[in-house]
Structure 1
């Protein structure tokens, strides 16, 4: 059984805070099934955006955990804002979560490039 989006986001926040880091919901989405986008801020000031991995990349057996792909890496905030604005036009129920970490793979399952 897959966790709801809201439950998954709450668990992510607890993990990050439990490690002494910072995380925040920038924009809440649909509690049940909203797509989740992760904005990662590094200590160097650059940001990266992780989006849900396309479901078409999986066979009939979907992974148990949510899988992400890197959408933008080491860019300025306005580039990520532009992508998220376009995504919101397509899916107004999406979540945007911000975390500060230099190791996003500690918290996210990331699809290999």
Structure 2
């Protein structure tokens, strides 16, 4: 059974804080099934964006998997989230500060060669 988006986000935020990091919910989406996007920032100010993996890459047991998305800077990030808002306004955005987001997320690679 898959955790609701609200529980997944709460657990992620708590885990990051418990390990001495910083996390913030930037946008609250649908409680049960809103898509979750993660913005990971490093101490140097760099950012990475992770979005939900497509169903074809879903994990056994219903866990959440993420794909790295192209977002080189704040402008790219804003454009991507604006596109998502037009498509589905019920998404979440969580920002975490970490040098290694893979510690907190299950990352998968798109089989088409992009990740």
What is the TM-score of this pair, normalised by structure 1? 0.91
Q: How many residues align?
A: 110
| 1:111 to 2:108 alignment | yes
Whole-angstrom CA distance in 2 between matches of 1:76 and 1:68: 19
Question: Which stretches of structure 1, 4 residues or more, deviate above 4 A after TM superposition?
Answer: none
Alpha-carbon distance in structure 1 between the residues aligned to 2:63 and 2:73:
29
**1:26-74 CA distance string (max 9 Å, x none):** 000000000000011111211110000011234xx7443200000025x
CA RMSD of aligned residues (A): 1.4
Show structure 1 runs of 5+ residues with no match. Answer: none
Answer whether contact 2:57 2:108 (CA < 8 A) is retained: no
Gapped regions of structure 2 (runs ≥ 5): 110-114
In 1, Cα distance between equivalents of 2:57 and 2:64 = 13
Query: Does residue 66 of structure 1 match 2:64?
Result: yes
